Amino acid sequence: GENVEQHPSTLSVQEGDSAVIKCTYSDSASNYFPWYKQELGKRPQLIIDIRSNVGEKKDQRIAVTLNKTAKHFSLHITETQPEDSAVYFCAASMTGANNLFFGTGTRLTVIP
């Protein structure tokens, strides 16, 4: 099955700086890559996703890039704010199969 690796496991940045989280996947058939944000004790929430027919997608301060050849994708958060502090999970799946394989998570701390 699919194996998703995520780095780093923890990340601290100063407020206003950028944060980058990277993931790699193993199955070249995967074509859907969502990112989830999970605040302490709460449910994971989808923040952005990308499909394999595009290389980059942006939504305000959040962007995701995908390199299908290298089988890696990244989450970029610019102008970080304290409310961005959370655990972020990347995931991968094959459209049609629907089962998402998650990375192990990155705990992001934004220092005011």
Partner 1 sequence: DSGVTQTPKHLITATGQRVTLRCSPRSGDLSVYWYQQSLDQGLQFLIQYYNGEERAKGNILERFSAQQFPDLHSELNLSSLELGDSALYFCASDDRAYGYTFGSGTRLTVV
Beta-sheet pairing, 10-14 with 62-67: unpaired
- Span 31-90, contacts to partner 1 by CB under 8 A: 32, 34, 36, 42-46, 49, 89
CA 105, CA 6: separation in Å to the nearest integer?
6
Identify which range of 23-31, 58-66, 76-84, 93-101 contacts partner 1 by CB under 8 A. 93-101
**Least distance in angstroms from the C-beta of 105 to partner 1:** 5
Contact 101, 91 (CB under 8 A): yes
Identify which range of 20-28, 58-66, 68-76, 98-106 contacts partner 1 by CB under 8 A. 98-106
Q: Does 101 bind partner 1 (CB under 8 A)?
A: yes
At residue 43, the 3 state secondary structure works out as: coil
Q: Which residues lie below 8 Å from residue 94, measured CB to CB, with a gap of 6+?
A: 2, 27, 29, 30, 31, 32
Which residues would be at the binding site for partner 1 (CB under 8 A)?
Answer: 32, 34, 36, 42-46, 49, 89, 95, 97-105
